[in-house]
Amino acid sequence: MTQTPSSFRCVLRNVAFALAAFFTLVTGPSALAQTNDMADKGERIYNNYCQTCHGESLINSGQSFDLRKLKVSEKSRFENSVQNGKNQMPPWKGVISPSDMEFIWAYIRTLANDKEINVAP
Ligand code: HEC
């Protein structure tokens, strides 16, 4: 019994479908992948501008604010303090763009004490 060419094509098509479905599943955009991507960008920006005072991975020995304490509900406090500065912290308006601030916020959420992550709407 040899396979006819047409049923062989059918098998090939099924394999192609399965592969396509698999790659869509693995590489397709998901909310979680997007959040991770934002956090990665945020980490790079944080390491450039904020790490010297706020510490590696947000951990510092008390010389500045512990960013892990920020709650998910305190995003506007975060934005306000970063833009306008606070006491020893310089204002970042004009240095850190609004989108960069979103990325830093996403990074902070991944290390925050309350692990709640705000997913963009
Ligand atoms: C020159 C040191 C320094 C750098 C650089 C710095 N900070 Fe700060 N930051 C501080 C200090 C000190 C405080 C504590 C201010 C206070 O409450 O007196 C602070 C406080 C904060 C707060 C909390 C303010 C509040 O609402 O109580 C946030 C949020 C913050 N920093 C974010 C950032 C981000 C984001 C960056 C990088 C873009 C950054 N900081 C860079 C020194 C720094």
Q: Which residue is listed with tokens 């396979």?
A: 3
Q: What is the pLDDT of residues 80-92, one digit of tens each?
A: 999 999 999 999 9
Indicate whether residue 117 lines ligand 1 (CB < 6 A): no
Closest CA to ligand 1's atom 30: 82
Q: What is the pLDDT of residues 44-70, one digit of tens each?
A: 999 999 999 999 999 999 989 999 999
DSSP 39-50: HHHHHHHHHHHT
Q: Which residue is listed with tokens 């979103």?
A: 102
Residues in the chain: 121
**If you measure from the C-alpha of residue 119 to the centroid of ligand 1, how many angstroms do you get, rounded to a whole number?**
24
pLDDT of residue 121: 47
pLDDT of residue 93: 97
The two structure tokens encoding residue 12:
């090939």
Indicate whether residue 92 lines ligand 1 (CB < 6 A): yes
Q: Which residue is listed with tokens 């010389």?
A: 63
Backbone angles phi, psi at 120, to 5 degrees: -60, 140
Q: Are 60 and 66 in contact (CB under 8 A)?
A: yes
For residue 70, give the ligand 1 atom closest to its CA: 29
Q: What is the pLDDT of residues 1-43, one digit of tens each?
A: 555 667 777 777 777 777 666 666 666 667 788 888 999 999 9
Q: Which residue is listed with tokens 């991770």?
A: 36
**If you measure from the C-alpha of residue 31 to the centroid of ligand 1, how many angstroms do you get, rounded to a whole number?**
29
Domains present along the chain, CATH in parentheses? 30-111 (1.10.760.10)
